Amino acid sequence: MNVFKRISAIALVFTLVAGSGVQPAQSFRSDSPKDVYHEAWKLVRDNFYEESFNGVNWKDYEHKYDSKIKSTEDAHKYIAQMLKALNDPYTRFLDPRAFQDENDAIDAKIVGIGISLQQSKEKPSKLQIVRTIEDGPAEKAGVKAGDELIGIDGESSVGITPEQAANRIRGAAGSPVDLTVKRSTNEIRKVSITRREIVIKAVRAKMLDNNIGMIQLNTFISNDAAREFRGALRKLSRADGLIIDLRGNPGGLLSNALEIADMLLENGAIVSTISRNAKHTDIATGLPLTKQPIAVLMDSDSASASEILASALHDNNRAVLVGTKSYGKGLVQEINKLPGGAAVHITVSRYLTPNNLDINKVGVKPDRLVEDKEAQVSAAISMLKDKIASLKKPIHATSALSVNQ
């Protein structure tokens, strides 16, 4: 399987426990504020996936703010403003602190409270907690996935972005932060959480009834995700079938999605990425680690790398999909470091599934639509049992009857 020289990221949401891939830093002749801005402009000019720049005359922005950029803060402000003009939510500016958070997430160790935040598609002013890290500070304080974050340290968080919320939640290990959350029942809860270092586990594996193994893959962002998945396959090697749970998984590193898909596929394409100048298709090596029947669980928060893995397994007839339609993010980003420690995310390509489907803003449809979360697991087990039974069913040869004439 081909490995990209530049690490690509397909993260959907900003999280306090996950981030994006890192492209090696480049050398720069100068790091004056104007040069920092112009470097960001050139990176977009050379790498943005859409040749028309979404209808923006990109040349207009090369020197648009020169007279206003006097400091590093000015450069950062106008880089963010310039990127916003592209009308691409995934091409964005990262200040040095946010960039460091992403590096920490890739290293699978961060200081924080252990939550993932996402803006609601139906109501962008609503900040939803889509995941909590198992045994993390937030989970131990009673915060749950599905809660709405409405306050941070006594101030409203309604209407702010996930990045802005993250900036307010960040802090030193051992220091407290007070959150106000609203449950789906409209119950309001105030909790005080102490920040600490968290070791991020991307994978959890367990054996269910009927000798079915279940692998919960929470994120693709950690450098350890593929290694952990490989370990889960070894742990569940005696299971008759596998459930891969991608519910609530917002994505992460493209390289992890490719490597995990390759562990499961006997042949076929995994994904095709289409940049401004080229198309690249990753093909399975044909050396799978298991041939166990697979069912994949997904929901509306399964995005990017999750959708790539689910589509690769589905389109190659390797797995059935159970749950609800996925998020629909068919774009790939790279993160490029700027002088001074800041960075920019740039959408560099779109991707197609092995069946040549563009799922951006569309999502991946399950083979069996099941809304209830508990029922999704039961449905996956039922479908696997049928598949396992068919594989174990003996094949009887039919004999031709002789007819005497």
Cα 238 to the chain's mean position, in Å? Answer: 29
Tokens of 153: 């340290």
| Cα–Cα distance measured from residue 168 to residue 100, given in angstroms and rounded to the nearest whole number | 15
Angle between the 254-264 and 225-235 helix axes, to the nearest 10 degrees? Answer: 20
Residue 261's nearest CA partner among 251, 269, 252 is 269
Q: Check residue 72 and report its DSSP letter.
A: H
* 304 tagged catalytic: yes
Strand, coil or helix: 260: helix
Whether 335 and 21 have beta carbons less than 8 Å apart is answered as yes
The strand pairing partners of 206, in sequence order, are: 214
Residue 370's nearest CA partner among 358, 360, 383 is 383
Active-site option among 116, 245, 329, 349: 329
Whether 86 and 80 have beta carbons less than 8 Å apart is answered as no
Strand, coil or helix: 98: helix
* 329 tagged catalytic: yes
| Cα–Cα distance measured from residue 229 to residue 306, given in angstroms and rounded to the nearest whole number | 14
| Cα–Cα distance measured from residue 235 to residue 251, given in angstroms and rounded to the nearest whole number | 24
Q: Beta-carbon neighbour count of residue 66 at 10 Å?
A: 11
Active-site option among 8, 299, 315, 349: 315
Active-site option among 20, 255, 302, 304: 304
Residue 275's nearest CA partner among 334, 354, 357 is 334
Strands 241-245 and 115-119: unpaired
Catalytic positions: 304, 315, 329
